[in-house]
Structure 1
Amino acid sequence: MFRDRPMAAFALVGAMLTTALAVPAATPARANPANCQNPSDPGEVNTETPWHQRWLAPQRVWPFSTGAGVRVAVIDSGTDSSHPQLAGRVTNGFDALHSTARGDVDCVSHGTAVASIIAAGRQDGVGFHGLAPDATIMPIRVSERNANEGPGATGDTVTGAVFARAIRRAVDDGAKVINMSVTLYHPDPDVEQAVRYALERDVVLVAAAGNQHQDGARPDPVPYPAAYDGVIGVGAIDRNGVRIRQSQIGPYVDIVAPGGGVVAATRLVGHAVWDGTSFAAPMVSATAALIRAAEPNLSAKEVAKRLLATADPALGDAERGYGNGVVNPYRAVTERLTTGAPVAQPPLPDVPYDAAAQARSERWAVFGRLALWIGLVLATIAVAVAALAVLLPRGRRTRWQPARPSAPPAPPREIDEPEEIFFRVPTSTPRG
């Protein structure tokens, strides 16, 4: 981590916890390496823009830096240099497991995925690409299997001696940034000395914070090298900005980055979806490469401070595993830090006095007030004229007499039903 932290002894565990969700392709691009006991299958090509690229928006920073000229060592399961988006961006590297050349072979895709998040090139029809596409990947191979394959898994894996050898080889071969997505759960003196060796030679060290969160049942195991002073420990968040369940909590988490359901390359061809702090760490390593390419005179300590100071606010605080916040590549490259006192600006000059302009201003003020009063008078006259126009014709009709209210109409008379009347009709008497 990037502060002094205590060390505690735990069993050695690899933190390369992955989840590959894409459907594998049917035909690999080339034969498996001879020393791959249980090689992973390649994935399908991803055509949509992954959420973490929309979140970090690396295209905003590319006018300022693409990572060109910066070597990033990826200490992992190796990196497949034949992947179409990594071809020409990966050196031969080093196999620290067997102390031989050729770290550009990957049996399980883990290291290829990590490297691709840093430096995968843009390709037509492919939505995924790296954050620092012009950086150079230096693969240092320390494992042939994933940690979640269980005790029956075959293939060699990392030890403290192998890890220390890998760090020293990366420094000696000119790496300016080292990404470590492999985690040891006990302090190792060889690894600690190798970390100091790298820091003394001005190398930025970035490490995954581990995927062994205990959900409050007991404290999380301390991950190394993330817990060593001078190493930037990285936790993982999902697309909602929330820490993923397995991302560990502790003072070794300095910063967080997308690491839940992120798209990255697989060995040979294609892509898969991955989970874990292993894939959040390269987001920070890529940002460090962008800074080092933009400002090569900055020291490793200054780069680390820039990363933490320009992080965006997170949904949780450091005690809940969010560190200083979410990495922001654009801010990290474009914003500057200063330790100097604020510089006092000189006082503003006095405005020169112009007598003629002052006189004109006063005259316009008088004219303005006069125009206001004239407007009010004219408005009053207009209202009076309108009232007279309504009242004069009515006065003439009433001969200027007050109008009297007319009597209300008489109510209708009620007529009783007439009684039946009999009339006697006289008859004439005949004359005899």
Structure 2
Amino acid sequence: MPGRRIRLTLVGVVIAVAVPPIAPGPAVAAPLPPAAARLAVPGCDDTGPPPKPVTAVPWAQKRYALERLAPLATGAQVTVAVIDSGVDDTHPQLRSRILSGRDYLDPGLDGTRDCVSHGTGVASIIAATSSRGVGFRGLAPQVKILPVRVSEQKVIEGKESGRYVGVAKFAESIRWAVDNGADVINLSIVFYKDNALLKSAIEYALDKDVVVVGAAGNQNAEGNPTPYPTAYEGVIGVGSVDEAGQVSAFSQRGPWVDLVAPGAKVLVATPEQGHKEDNGTSFATPFVAGTAALIRQYWPDLNARQVAQRLVATTDPAPGTDRDAYGAGILNPYRAVTETAAPARQPAAAGLPPRQIDPEEVARAERRSVTQERALWVAGLAGAVAVIALLLAVVLPRGARRRWRPAGPV
């Protein structure tokens, strides 16, 4: 594949609760609210009441008009692995969507504990179901979420704290997700150092025809370091834009950005109940992962590379021209699902496909033919009447003058 962008490398989105980089420095994409604003989760240290449900429809949903997608695809029969801080399965909008996964922080658990609310928020953008009186819902509400817990890192007053797995376990978690039925993997976690084990795990996922979506990172203002695994070939890299479509200041730039999606002030679900606004390429990534799930349902014959091609080929134009910031453009889920002219659906170069007969077009052609035939008959009849009228106007007076005798010498 020539060039990172054209080759359709799957590129990721930044996370809010991330595994720290191999090299020194934070890997958290965006700060979390103070602990008191988060909720009490069994087995977690944080205290405080859960946020309340939000009734208004969030801006990202208005942009994507999810009601148009629902009749076409819902993500049914598709599994998305969310490798993150865990996904709480008690939230009313997620309760029926979460599979039993794996916990790499607390072995023996199933990945459904989320002490920092990050993985739950990511999963909700993908799979939250509709709820009466709540405007928020996910792009693919019939998707199954496979939760894989690898981090509970958080930022409070600018300081990082919390446990996380090393890169070897992170790589292992990717392989585990592949081997346990993932069709799409959402990676809203970034490292900032290349690693052979991590690269090998990504290659393993792609070889198994899994779509891998990764965050571009949130450290644009901190030197814009290369994010991994997003920078690897085959990963769909996702940057963040705001409601106006402008790239977020924190969103990292580089050839690893394949497209952008909402990542500024986006609404997400929180553990147990309620919703909150959050920021980061971490939350732009699941918009792309959710759309990939819709494509996998609607076009089941497409492989992972073709899914990535559709995602990039059907973007909306970005307001800026910096391809390192915007990639190919802004995600458009409806076009990604319905566009028949996307590269993955174009006819092969070997020849034209057989012409498909459209019954409606045949009927229209028959009606046109009958109408044309009638018009010709009417025109011919009108012409004949005109000729007869002309003859009568000329011949009758002359005949009367000659008393109807044939003309001849006098």
Instruction: Specify the TM-score bucket, using the shorter chain as the normaliser.
Output: 0.7 to 0.9
8 Å contact kept, 2:126–2:138:
yes
For 1:125 and 1:338, the matched residues in 2 are separated by 42
Residue in 2 that maps onto 1:70: 78
Residue in 2 that maps onto 1:124: 132
Match of 1:329 among 330, 333, 341: 333
Q: State the secondary structure of the residue aligned to 1:303.
A: helix
**Distance verdict in 2 for CA 1:222–1:134, change over 3 Å:** same
Residue in 2 that maps onto 1:212: 219
Larger Cα Rg: Structure 1 or Structure 2? 1
Residue in 2 that maps onto 1:32: 41
RCO higher in 1 or 2 (8 Å CA, sep ≥ 6)? 2
Whichever residue aligns with residue 162 of structure 1, its letter is K
Whichever residue aligns with residue 176 of structure 1, its letter is D
Task: List runs of 5+ in structure 1 lacking aligned partners.
Answer: 367-432
**Distance verdict in 2 for CA 1:357–1:196, change over 3 Å:** same
1:192 aligns with 2:205: no
8 Å contact kept, 1:15–1:181:
no
Deviation at 1:116, TM superposition (A): 0.4
Whichever residue aligns with residue 139 of structure 1, its letter is P
TM-score, reference length from structure 1: 0.74
Match of 1:172 among 169, 179, 203: 179
Match of 1:248 among 248, 252, 256: 252
8 Å contact kept, 1:13–1:184:
no
Deviation at 1:205, TM superposition (A): 0.3
For 1:119 and 1:344, the matched residues in 2 are separated by 37
Q: State the secondary structure of the residue aligned to 1:260.
A: coil
Whichever residue aligns with residue 79 of structure 1, its letter is V
Q: Percent identical across equivalent pairs?
A: 46
Residue in 1 that maps onto 2:68: 60
Match of 1:359 among 377, 380, 384: 380
8 Å contact kept, 1:85–1:121:
yes
Listed one character per residue, the Cα deviations across residues 105-147 of structure 1 (whole Å, up to 9, x for unaligned) are: 0000000000000001100011111110000111110101225
Residue in 2 that maps onto 1:160: 167
Match of 1:223 among 220, 227, 244: 227
For 1:18 and 1:364, the matched residues in 2 are separated by 88
Deviation at 1:163, TM superposition (A): 1.3
8 Å contact kept, 2:255–2:324:
no
Residue in 1 that maps onto 2:15: none
For 1:311 and 1:197, the matched residues in 2 are separated by 28
For 2:52 and 2:75, the matched residues in 1 are separated by 27
8 Å contact kept, 1:255–1:322:
yes
Deviation at 1:33, TM superposition (A): 3.2
For 2:168 and 2:26, the matched residues in 1 are separated by 14
8 Å contact kept, 1:11–1:186:
no
For 2:160 and 2:327, the matched residues in 1 are separated by 36
For 2:193 and 2:24, the matched residues in 1 are separated by 6
Whichever residue aligns with residue 41 of structure 2, its letter is N
TM-score, reference length from structure 2: 0.78
Task: List runs of 5+ in structure 2 lacking aligned partners.
Answer: 11-21, 356-364, 388-410
List aligned pairs for 1:413-428, cutoff 5 A.
none
For 1:364 and 1:21, the matched residues in 2 are separated by 93
For 1:365 and 1:321, the matched residues in 2 are separated by 73
Residue in 1 that maps onto 2:359: none
Deviation at 1:335, TM superposition (A): 1.4
For 1:179 and 1:165, the matched residues in 2 are separated by 15
Q: State the secondary structure of the residue aligned to 1:73.
A: strand
